[in-house]
Structure 1
Amino acid sequence: MKTLYIVRHAKSSWEYEGIKDIDRPLKKRGIKDAYLVSKVLHEKISTPDVFISSCANRALHTGMIFSYTFNYPLANLKISKSLYNFSDGYLIKTVKALDDGFDSAIIFSHDHGISTFVNKYGSIQLDHVPTCGVVGIKFETKHWKNIKAGNTFITEFPKNLK
């Protein structure tokens, strides 16, 4: 059994001129949402074996907040340049390349890839995964590379927790 948690980065800011997309920071609301969602998730699940984040500032900051809440060492937070992509292809490749020694993983990335992924591999169809939304999927397999349709067992969205 493999368990995957996919987190869309928290709400980011568009207010800074001249800043590259990859460098966009979280808004105050995004920071608050990341603490709220990570706290609720931490009360429901065990700490995932590995934390992986897109290299984009907004995803990485979200991942750092979750790491802090879960007492996961920041030095172990893996950063993936390939997750800074807006298709599900890179997300699928990242998941299928996970080390089989990890039974659970949490990935911080971006939409549209997330919505496409959770609808392809999960058991619940979601119109849209909002910022700081978390979707948990369990897969009946011993090897990440063999994942097929799994069972969606967690959906946590900030608006449902306020």
Structure 2
Amino acid sequence: MKTLYIVRHAKSSWKYESVKDIDRPLKERGINDAHLISKFLAKNIKRPDVFVSSSANRALHTAVIFCENFGYPLANLQINRQLYSFSDGYLVKTVKALDDNFDSAIIFSHDHGINTFVNKFGNKPIAHVTTCGVIGIQFDEKHWKNIKKGNTILTEFPKNHK
């Protein structure tokens, strides 16, 4: 059995026009939402075995907040540049390449790839994963590379906790 949590990065700022997209920081609201959701999850789910983040500043900052609230060592946070993509292709490749010694994983990524992924691999239609939204999917597989359709076991969005 494999369990995957997919997190869309928290709300980012468009305030800095000269900043490249990959370097966009979180807004204060995003920081607050990341703490809100990660504290809730830390109390309600078993800590995932591995944390993997896109290299984009907004995803990485979200992941750091989750690491802090889950008590996951920052030194173990894996950064995957390929997750800075807006299609589900790299997300699928990243998940299927996870080490089978990990029974659970949490991945921090981006809008379009996440929406496509959770609807392709989960069994609950989700119209839109909001910023800092978390979707959990459980797969009846021993190997990550074999994942197919799984069971959506968790849908959490910041608006449900305010």
**Shorter-normalised TM range:** over 0.9
1:126 aligned residue:
126
The aligned amino acid for 1:6 is: I
Per the normalisation by structure 1, the TM-score is 0.99
| C-alpha displacement of 1:67 | 0.2
Give runs of aligned pairs for residues 86-125 of structure 1, distance below 5 A: 86-125=86-125
String of CA shifts for 1:48-98, please: whole Å, max 9, x gaps. Answer: 000000000000000000000000000000000000000000000000000
1:14 aligned residue:
14
The aligned amino acid for 1:125 is: P
Q: Distance in 2 between matches of 1:23 and 1:109?
A: 14
Give runs of aligned pairs for residues 10-49 of structure 1, distance below 5 A: 10-49=10-49
1:56 aligned residue:
56
> What is the root-mean-square deviation of aligned Cα atoms in Å?
0.4
Gaps (5+ residues) in structure 1? Answer: none
Matched, 1:149 2:149: yes
Identity among equivalent positions (%) equals 73
State the 4+ residue runs in structure 1 displaced beyond 3 angstroms.
none
Gaps (5+ residues) in structure 2? Answer: none
| C-alpha displacement of 1:17 | 1.7
The aligned amino acid for 1:86 is: F
| C-alpha displacement of 1:41 | 0.7
Q: Distance in 2 between matches of 1:43 and 1:154?
A: 14
The aligned amino acid for 2:20 is: K
Q: Distance in 2 between matches of 1:148 and 1:30?
A: 32
